[in-house]
Amino acid sequence: MSSTRQIVVGDAALGGVALGGGAPVVVQSMLNIPTSDAPGCLAQIDILAEAGCELIRLALPDTASLPAFERICAESPLPVIADIHFDFRLAIAAAELGAAKLRINPGNIADLDLVDAIIDAAGSVGIPIRIGVNAGSLAPEFALRSELSLTEKLVASAESFVEHFEERDFTNIVVSAKAHDVRTTVEVYRLLAADLPQVPLHLGVTEAGTAFTGTVKSAAALGALLLDGIGDTIRVSLTADPVEELRVAWQLLATLGLRRRGPELVSCPTCGRCQVDLIALACEVEERLSFVRKPLTVAVMGCIVNGPGEAASADVGVACGAGKGAIFSAGKILYTVPESTIVDALMEEIDRY
Amino acid sequence: MSSTRQIVVGDAALGGVALGGGAPVVVQSMLNIPTSDAPGCLAQIDILAEAGCELIRLALPDTASLPAFERICAESPLPVIADIHFDFRLAIAAAELGAAKLRINPGNIADLDLVDAIIDAAGSVGIPIRIGVNAGSLAPEFALRSELSLTEKLVASAESFVEHFEERDFTNIVVSAKAHDVRTTVEVYRLLAADLPQVPLHLGVTEAGTAFTGTVKSAAALGALLLDGIGDTIRVSLTADPVEELRVAWQLLATLGLRRRGPELVSCPTCGRCQVDLIALACEVEERLSFVRKPLTVAVMGCIVNGPGEAASADVGVACGAGKGAIFSAGKILYTVPESTIVDALMEEIDRY
């Protein structure tokens, strides 16, 4: 848990989302349909909220999208973050039209006077700004400093903007500095956390890749940082349906013992000792658990070597032998069932737990 | 890169696999078919070797499996590790029948005299032993010490066995201490690396779960450790086809910049700015890259915000606009093609690179 300043995204009176300062790590994602399509965006927000999204970001590419943006802000069940590049006027408009937060990369905005206009607009409606630095779009004054490593450029850029915002007495900020490689990401955020202990951090790996590649990258980078207690909100970026981003984000938080949305499944790797169809069994249990919201640990173990020990330490579990399974609950064997009814028996004990 | 003692798995004269002491992190997996089925095992070893497996482990559950085990050792293209629980005689037989390494959990073997017999058998044929401690099968003298945390039990157990082996002048060892949760795993290995800087470490999360859950867990735990320079060999344990384990392991090593088997794909998350079918595009590129062994970075970028910067820093890349893509190679735009031929153009430039 970080001890950064706490900021609130969304109307506090209506249950805004606290970020930093000991609040649980917040999960966010981004819409992938045009903002101009308000009904489509609102429908996707509902789907993502159901999948565990707590803050939703959308791109605001042009003035034509502003009416739809206003409607989305008004009707969204989640606080809406406007993502703005290049045009400071869109950021000001977003603040006025109901954005719960702005995300800008000051390096993409021509000069600091225009950034100041955005700061003042956010300040006047009391919403936070994410300073989002990105390896792919560093401001020229940092990008061109060839004596610096990419890590150093990202940190220097983010810190110079934080200094600028704080000098203007605007501290309602969160910072991200994304790269597409894990090592740079981890180094950058460790430096930022050390240098700016007061500033909430938004973690993410940018351009992380497809569901497979991006899951590995994000879990490695965000996992290492979250284990260090660094990070107040995360976005897992995938070239995939944003629902997948949320699934990975929640799995990661559960995996680290930080937050849980449902059960955790423990299952053993397959090996030559296994005498049941463990992959099918574990996948069926995982599938059926996705409808369960109880935060319990379920073990599906294939053999007698580690099985009973692991199954007994889970809330509910099964340790399989040849064609059958011993069902555990709260550390005790309850009974043994044939392979065909293992999943049903397990689900029954989960309901009962 | 760790500065542990280096051990060699497999016949050094025939190109055994170096482990520790600055050698590249070694990727291993485990067969999931009965060892008694020698032809089946050998066929699976070929598949796994092709998928990047460098050491292969198999369970040796009973004496009936020994003839098949001997044949597998003789014919396997990869060094074979015998995984033994409970029965010390199987370990001794494995050493005599051609195992390249033994893996035992001394806590599962009734007393230390029997462990010593295994040590002597391994010593006489010059093969290493992995001391594999596991949260699910801790020796009772550690499991029952309720004043210790699970982390402390695992570390104390592993260290007591290392001490025993080293006192017997057997230093041809590698150590693992697996738990099924990420935080315990990371804590345990950080402590082992600090306390036993001379001992090569085998990293893994046990009972990590299905392909999805296990990938997140393994990437987070092994990623955090490998970033610290801890770990000489890894196994990603999944309740899935072992080929998936290798895919995750190699992706993780590539992701951390430690080793590469082929190209790295960088692709951006989808967002409302994207005007091409980026998910389909990235997935097609990923699929076609799986046949490429050149270690280059390929960027598939959806828009003009971060696209050109990222695409230019990759070896080969595309930055897409509305229905078209600008193809980059070695930092320069080469030409622009319509969406339908982006993948072909990209693959052509990869071949040319």
Whether A12 has its CB under 8 Å from any CB of chain B: the answer is no
| Shared-domain flag, residues B200 and B296 | no
| Shared-domain flag, residues B82 and B119 | yes
| Shared-domain flag, residues B111 and B88 | yes
Q: Which residues of A touch B257 (CB under 8 A)?
A: 181-183
Domain assignment present for residue A1? The answer is no
In single-letter form, the type of residue at position B300 comes to: V
pLDDT of residue B14: 74
- Please say whether the beta carbons of A322 and A342 come within 8 A: no
Sign of the Cα torsion B215, B220, B223, B229 reads negative
In chain B, the residue whose alpha carbon lies closest to the alpha carbon of A284 is B210
| Shared-domain flag, residues A167 and A304 | no
Quick check: B215 and A219 CB within 8 A?
yes
pLDDT of residue B305: 66
Domain assignment present for residue B27? The answer is yes
Whether B6 has its CB under 8 Å from any CB of chain A: the answer is no
What is the distance between the alpha carbons of residues B65 and B59, in angstroms, rounded to a whole number?
A: 9
Quick check: B309 and A278 CB within 8 A?
no
pLDDT tens digits for A113-137? 999 999 999 999 999 999 999 988 8
- pTM of the entire predicted model: 0.89
- Please say whether the beta carbons of A265 and A274 come within 8 A: no
Quick check: A271 and B31 CB within 8 A?
yes
| Shared-domain flag, residues A52 and A151 | yes
Q: Which residues of B touch A302 (CB under 8 A)?
A: 239
Mutation target vs B (from A154, A271, A281, A318; most B CBs, 10 A cutoff): A271
CATH number of the domain residue A286 falls in: 3.30.413.10
More confident residue, B256 or B1: B256
pLDDT tens digits for A140-177? 889 889 999 999 999 999 999 999 999 999 999 999 99
pLDDT of residue B294: 81
pLDDT tens digits for B191-236? 999 999 999 999 999 877 889 999 999 999 999 999 999 999 999 9
Domain assignment present for residue B331? The answer is yes
pLDDT tens digits for chain A (353 residues)?
568 999 999 987 777 999 999 999 999 999 999 999 999 999 999 999 999 999 999 999 999 999 999 999 999 999 999 999 889 999 999 999 999 999 999 888 878 899 999 999 999 999 999 999 998 888 888 988 999 999 999 999 999 999 999 999 999 999 999 998 999 999 999 999 999 999 999 999 987 788 999 999 999 999 999 999 999 999 999 988 999 999 999 999 999 999 988 888 888 776 666 677 888 888 888 888 877 878 888 988 887 666 677 777 789 999 888 888 889 998 888 999 998 999 999 999 998 88
Whether B56 has its CB under 8 Å from any CB of chain A: the answer is no
In chain A, the residue whose alpha carbon lies closest to the alpha carbon of B109 is A305
| Shared-domain flag, residues A248 and A293 | no
CATH number of the domain residue B181 falls in: 3.20.20.20
Question: Of A229, A255, A281, at which residue does a domain stop?
Answer: A255
Q: Which residues of A touch B266 (CB under 8 A)?
A: 180, 207, 209
| Shared-domain flag, residues A103 and A196 | yes
Whether A72 has its CB under 8 Å from any CB of chain B: the answer is no
| Shared-domain flag, residues B250 and B346 | no
Phi, psi of A188 (to 5 degrees): -60, -50
Between A and B, how many CB-CB pairs are < 8 A?
Answer: 259
The number of folded domains in chain A is 2
pLDDT of residue A245: 95
In chain B, the residue whose alpha carbon lies closest to the alpha carbon of A85 is B305
Predicted confidence band of residue B296 (pLDDT cuts 50, 70, 90): confident
Whether A182 has its CB under 8 Å from any CB of chain B: the answer is yes
| Shared-domain flag, residues B268 and B121 | no
Question: Of A237, A255, A273, at which residue does a domain stop?
Answer: A255
What is the distance between the alpha carbons of residues B301 and B269, in angstroms, rounded to a whole number?
A: 9
Domain assignment present for residue A205? The answer is yes
* B216 vs A213, A215, A224: nearest CB: A215
Domain assignment present for residue B26? The answer is yes
User: Minimal Cα–Cα distance from B281 to chain A, Å?
Assistant: 10
| Shared-domain flag, residues B27 and B49 | yes
**Could you list the residue range(s) of the whole structural domain that residue B190 is in?**
7-255
Domain assignment present for residue A2? The answer is no
In single-letter form, the type of residue at position B346 comes to: L
Whether A171 has its CB under 8 Å from any CB of chain B: the answer is no
pLDDT of residue B306: 65
Beta-sheet pairing, B324-329 with B332-338: antiparallel
Question: Of A224, A255, A286, at which residue does a domain stop?
Answer: A255
* B256 vs A182, A248, A273: nearest CB: A182
pLDDT of residue A304: 66
Domain assignment present for residue A93? The answer is yes
* B216 vs A59, A251, A283: nearest CB: A251
| Shared-domain flag, residues B54 and B168 | yes
Convert chain B into a string of H (helix), E (strand) and C (coil).
CCCCCCEEECCHHHCCEEECCCCCCEEEEECCCCCCCHHHHHHHHHHHHHCCCCEEEEECCCHHHHHHHHHHHHHCCCCEEEEECCCHHHHHHHHHCCCCEEEECHHHCCCHHHHHHHHHHHHHHCCCEEEEEEHHHCCHHHHCCCCCCHHHHHHHHHHHHHHHHHHCCCCCEEEEEECCCHHHHHHHHHHHHHHCCCCCEEECCCCECEHHHHHHHHHHHHHHHHHCCCCCEECCCCECCHHHHHHHHHHHHHHCCCCCCCCEEEECCCCCCCCCCHHHHHHHHHHHHCCCCCCCEEEEECCCCCHHHHHHHCCEEEEEECCEEEEEECCEEEEEEEHHHHHHHHHHHHHHC
Domain assignment present for residue B1? The answer is no
Predicted confidence band of residue B239 (pLDDT cuts 50, 70, 90): confident
Quick check: B210 and A267 CB within 8 A?
yes
Quick check: A32 and B245 CB within 8 A?
no
| Shared-domain flag, residues B245 and B322 | no
